[in-house]
Amino acid sequence: MSGHSKWSSIKHKKGAADAKRGKLFSKLSRAIIVAAKEGGGDPSGNLALQNAIEKARSYSMPKENIDRAIAKGSGADADASDFETVIYEGYGPGGVAVIVEALTDNRNRTASDVRHLFAKNDGNLGTAGAVSWLFERRGVVLVNADGVDEDELTLAAAEGGADDVELDGTTFQIVGPVETLSAVREAVEAAGFSVDSAELTMVPKTTVQVESENDAKKILRLVDQLEDNDDVQDVYANFDIPERVLEAVAS
């Protein structure tokens, strides 16, 4: 999954830049508000909220913003009830499977936008269940590999409940069950390692090799444009783009 993992790192750096413009913070706040609305404002008893907070922290969202979103969702504010989670599944260029998770207050608008973006980028929007079987939801923590002792990191990750640590170029990818995400992050940080990101993601069970620069450009453009949509929270895809191709198109 080298090309896929490397893209995760690139996406996080891009997300950090987006956060400076405030757009990402708006999406993160929406996720926290909805999680708090649906499961209460106490993260210890609300896994969805706990994970939404972890993701917000990964992008250096200020604590006051997080607290405000929790209060808004768990209070009497009606805004959160206007949003619903919608999942879209389809195929991108080269037969790459794509899952789009959105929080929307207008299902028709979002469906139309997502369908348009798939068609515009040589993809096809499918029906529910079309590609979700190719993925599994996991907690993923990314740690910059510079100066990191792999054995020490693996030990710390295991203590937090992770079940796999993989080096991919300049990044360690720590993977574990959904419910251990927060514990893994805390264990890794307590051991002195700096966490680049910690969030739930849909990890592909199998990947599709994308050797063509043209197809790689198309699939990355599709992912990029989907993520830029205000209603879209996350986009997952099972491509594996060789590093040489990824670097050429990502630049």
Q: What pLDDT does 1 receive?
A: 35
Q: What pLDDT does 38 receive?
A: 87
Q: Under CATH, which number does the domain 84-133+207-250 receive?
A: 3.30.70.980
Check if 2-82 and 134-204 are the same fold.
no
Q: What pLDDT does 3 receive?
A: 43
Which residues in the chain show pLDDT less than 70?
1-21, 76-81, 250-251
CATH architecture of 134-204: 2-Layer Sandwich (3.30)
Residue 169, both tokens = 């170029």
User: So where are the chain's domains?
Assistant: 2-82, 84-133+207-250, 134-204
Q: What pLDDT does 2 receive?
A: 38
pTM of the model: 0.83
User: What is the CATH T-level fold of the domain 2-82, as seen in this structure?
Assistant: Arc Repressor Mutant, subunit A (1.10.10)
Which residue shows structure tokens 């740690």?
143
Q: What pLDDT does 7 receive?
A: 60
Query: Angle at which helices 107-120 and 213-227 pack, to 10 degrees?
Result: 160
